[in-house]
Amino acid sequence: MKTLPDLDARLRAAAAAIRTADALVIGAGAGMGVDSGLPDFRGPEGFWKAYPPFRGQEFADISTPHWFKTDPAMAWGFFGHRLNLYRAAIPHGGFDILRHWSARMRLGYFVYTSNVDGQFQKARFPQERVVERHGSIHYLQCVSSCSQRIWPATDICVDVDESVIRAQSQLPRCMNCDALARPNILMFGDWGWISDRCREQIEKYHTWINEIRGAKVVAIEMGAGLAIPTVRNECETQGAVLIRINPRESDTPDGGIPLPMGALEALGKIDALLG
């Protein structure tokens, strides 16, 4: 079994990789938001802690388009509560650290996230440098897919009874046909997700990846677990050096730098080494 260097040595290796990088791929899963007070829904117990009324069910049972047709008040109770939570959240200091590193990259950077919370944009990352692989809760689409239209949820405010996680205000409506609206998020078992916005983001990202082919690209990944490995796979594919920050699932392929820490702590320690 390969013996890894101690944690301090790995942090120094991460700092050296970032110092000499030409470009940065920033990967983020749900664990990235934990230091901002956001739940990561890790396992049933984590989901039930965040949403006690759903005890006995799993995140995948609730995050499905099925409920928008069969129980819209419950569906919008869950997603409306999350929308309110994400709007109120303040991105932790690690976002600023990443933004400052990104600004120093000779060939630029891109964010690749499975999160739907919009925290990178809130932390002043430009929209055109972010791939939201599973969509965004800050955008809506029609439940009936009457058109391909996707629109901002800026004016939407859902009042939620948190004791039962049910919407108790008027539900969002489609701007085109006045049917029920839903978040423009890829849910479980979701064949109705309109992926146009995400596809445009991915096209910009792939254009950039092709432009920097052959450069030293460092992928720094935070809080992306094994359950849905979208972000992990992307970072393993694109980074000449992979830095994986995850307190529980930090193992990397050979040559990677595993940091079994939370995002804010690890980013702060690396930044201190960068001086």
Give the Cβ contact number of residue 1 at 10 Å.
3
What domains lie within the chain, and their CATH numbers? 7-274 (3.40.50.1220)
Residues with Cβ < 8 Å from 109, sequence gap 6 or more? 23, 24, 25, 26, 101, 102, 129
- Asked whether the beta carbons of 169 and 73 are under 8 A apart, the reply is no
Main-chain dihedrals φ then ψ at residue 130, nearest 5 degrees: -125, 130
User: In one letter, which amino acid is 180?
Assistant: L
At 95 the pLDDT is: 98
User: Which pTM was predicted?
Assistant: 0.95
Residues with Cβ < 8 Å from 60, sequence gap 6 or more? 188
In tens digits, what is the pLDDT along the chain, a chain of 275 residues? 355 679 999 999 999 999 999 999 999 999 999 999 998 887 778 888 899 999 999 999 999 999 999 999 999 999 999 999 999 999 999 999 999 999 999 999 999 999 999 999 999 999 999 999 999 999 999 999 899 999 999 999 999 999 999 999 999 999 999 999 999 999 999 999 999 999 999 999 999 999 999 999 999 999 999 988 999 999 999 999 999 999 999 999 999 999 999 999 999 999 999 98
Give the Cβ contact number of residue 254 at 10 Å.
5
